[in-house]
Structure 1
């Protein structure tokens, strides 16, 4: 356990110096928030009611899907994997360290949006804060789980960028944060329900959250955990 905590600490410090993480977890999401927040609230004053939620969903999706997979490839697609095997380090060590570090960074980004939106754009604060942050934590975990699948399954950085965008762009366009999902054709609305961003936005935007509203994210998380376990076993045996 001490070794794992030390690994998380070291990974967190490395991520702070990472230009990729700086861009995907902080710079781009916060710039998008600053620009689009003003546009949304100017064109649609009612957007203030869900501005925190919509900007947070975009930031989490960007940080997880675009920022984390390249870092995973740097671990499991290079000689670092061989160092793990040679020193008897569990193969999941790097993945867990990176996962926890990314969770902290993305949560910090979400807190910045949460604190800044009411001040800059007079956005409405969610009424049930404990449930809001519980839903946010779950959404981040699920998004990172999907990012881990990408990082473990795709070895080429060029292909990884393509696959990340294939998941990221529909996540944003079909989730309802840009415009109500009800405006989409039924088939696209249903496709959007396959992505965590859609359910994350639904959960974050609701004041009264029933337990059933969490089920889709738990299903995606359960599936992602199984796939990540299979991919780690495959990497260990290769």
Structure 2
């Protein structure tokens, strides 16, 4: 998927073109929401090394959908004085993030836009990670952040944290965000999202097609040391 710089730049340009007074901090938060589950996943794997990786992947797949992104957007927006406007900014950021992801060809990493009604992955696959569009989006994002850095720092978040009802709503929606995926794991499994169903059925998977994310790797020669 396009990197964080690309997402921040595109989200900033797109969101502020429609919502001209959108605060950059909220724009950037919205652009990062779909990636939060993947970031948390890495921490979980360190803290709980014996966790079932297939179930963890299903959990993260659910959390990274637009549906769960909107739930987390409600949670964050509840702490803002302009909660309706902030929700629009955050939700639009989630949508832009996922649409941008869908433009890039990524094995076993397509996005899910229409959950919980449809769990099929969506991908346009217009360019590869190491192609010119990816680099162009990255440099654009870097330029955008640097150009608006001072403005982004100076703009306040306008939080409303003293309101009890807002705090209760924040905690409730946060709990929904983390608990609801536990009841939806079967949906991406049946849809074979990220080929988890294929890989999980160990006895039946030989000869079946699957994809996995491409990773950089190094080959090392193993030398056998013989002692006389």
Higher helix share: 1
Shared topology, TM-score over 0.5? no
TM-score (norm 2): 0.38
TM-score (norm 1): 0.37
The structure with the largest alpha-carbon Rg is: 2
